[in-house]
Structure 1
């Protein structure tokens, strides 16, 4: 893996973010790398894939601003003739994936001249714009205000307050899927979700098909992808 900025002559490699050389090193992948993998694993998270068939959960079109679009870069990152060619031309792999609902489904890339209202290019000149750590979750059933991923008003440091967990955090999603498994009385799902830790859940047999896809993708097309562990 490489930093997002630098070594621009190295093409098609997995890059990490934050991309700045002075930022702390992480194993978080760049957005383009994550999107490339979503063409194989679908848009579903691991937990959601326990309840929803991934076959119809693939992105059909990616829309980019004209000011940021580079045709050769998009072809290299996402197209069947780019770095994912070893996946696109492997019939045996495709047949094996389809048995568990997965496939390599490349999306189309289109552009728009419409600029995001709060993008760096739309702001006043000489004004530095930075991303906000404030966010909100808004659904028909509940709303949340988050600061740095933690519910507003709850402590995040030095020891996180468990009550500050968002409804869409990994632990709460795990609990929700576990509740559904119990209501369905599905033995395989119950066994998979009834674990002591999230890492143990991910080791369950129900993820076999998805893990095969990720392993094939890493071996054939994205060999520099390093698994992010330790945050389970």
Structure 2
């Protein structure tokens, strides 16, 4: 298969949809929803990161579909997660939101089968359960090199003074501390003076995908394929080339393979800088901000995160972990205004497909069930292979409440 053609087609689909939503999304979304998407794009004095997951069948690049499109560069501090009862989205970085959106989309496609409708992505297996169609290929487009170990050398060149080490409850390194310690697990950066997040970097999370599969735990055991594989990560050529050594180290060289049971090496492909420039010019004409981290700190990070799942007719704008226009306090008090991608909402979706989930008292009880042991082991092996992962606050909640 022609890697250049894959990179070009995926990039055109993601960037074209984001820059020209009226042209690309009119058959899926209402005029009001498209305006929401446009209004969620960063202003010309802001920056954000764009990501999207695309899939297709075998060699048929003409069959490409956009599963989801997301933006975001924020992360909710750990202290806010401690009493969220599953109703906050913790990690709002674009590529992480894409992975969560894809898991939501898988559940939507399973619902189609249950309603005797055709799905382009999943099918019944021989046991009456579900599997990904065997010829599916999956690519993740990201407009910026993922945070963490992937971008360490570039950061050290632009800002040679790393953060000072500080006390924290996670054993993972924080953000931009200790540039010289490459190949290490890191938490989301934020500002040096910002409240601590224990959410691991996008580079770390994507590396675990090569060992445990792409799907989130809420969805993974619904699909009987041993893994749902990510085949490609596509990055703008200039950024991929500048960070080529870091990308290779982060995704492949630092893994302790003695701790790994399974490993699927995804390819890093380069998106033509001409394609990126073409759509950036369109966005600039519409007074939209930069797609990528502003390393020179001339622009501020956009507060908003966008979630678009076209086939499911979903547009959602998230701010501080909840739907834009709501506050964390009111969401937790009234139980309304949470994102479809929060753990609570995704689990309610899971319950619709599997009523046996209702027999458990809490989300944690459900995760500890015997039938989930295989997936839990995959996750633990993946984390162990990267060294000191460190704990995060567990976001538990009572089921059905």
Q: Please tell me the TM-score bracket, short chain as reference.
A: 0.7 to 0.9
1:54, CA displacement in angstroms?
4.7
C-alpha distance after superposition, 1:102-134 (max 9, x if no partner): x310111122233373436799x9851422324
Count of aligned residue pairs for this structure pair = 208
Matches within 5 A, 1:140-155: 140-148=311-319, 149-155=321-327
Give the equivalent residue in structure 2 for 1:202.
367
Give the equivalent residue in structure 2 for 1:109.
268
TM-score where L is the length of structure 2? 0.47
Give the equivalent residue in structure 2 for 1:71.
244
Change (3 A) 1:59 1:7: same
Matches within 5 A, 1:33-182: 33-69=204-240, 70-79=243-252, 82-84=253-255, 86-87=256-257, 94=261, 103-114=262-273, 115=276, 117=280, 118-119=289-290, 127-148=298-319, 149-157=321-329, 160=332, 161-182=334-355
Tell me how far apart the structure 2 counterparts of residues 47 and 144 of structure 1 sit (CA, whole Å). Answer: 21
| Contact 1:18-1:24 at 8 Å conserved across structures | no
Structure 1 residue runs of 5 or longer lacking an equivalent are: 95-102, 183-189
Deviates more, 1:30-39 or 1:137-146: 137-146
| Contact 1:61-1:108 at 8 Å conserved across structures | yes
Tell me how far apart the structure 2 counterparts of residues 122 and 203 of structure 1 sit (CA, whole Å). Answer: 38
Give the equivalent residue in structure 2 for 1:100.
none
Tell me how far apart the structure 2 counterparts of residues 46 and 137 of structure 1 sit (CA, whole Å). Answer: 21
- Greater RCO (CA < 8 Å, at least 6 residues apart): 2
Structure 2 residue runs of 5 or longer lacking an equivalent are: 1-171, 281-288, 397-401
| Contact 2:231-2:267 at 8 Å conserved across structures | yes
TM-score where L is the length of structure 1? 0.77
| Contact 2:208-2:383 at 8 Å conserved across structures | no
Tell me how far apart the structure 2 counterparts of residues 122 and 208 of structure 1 sit (CA, whole Å). Answer: 38
What secondary structure does 1:168 align onto? Answer: coil
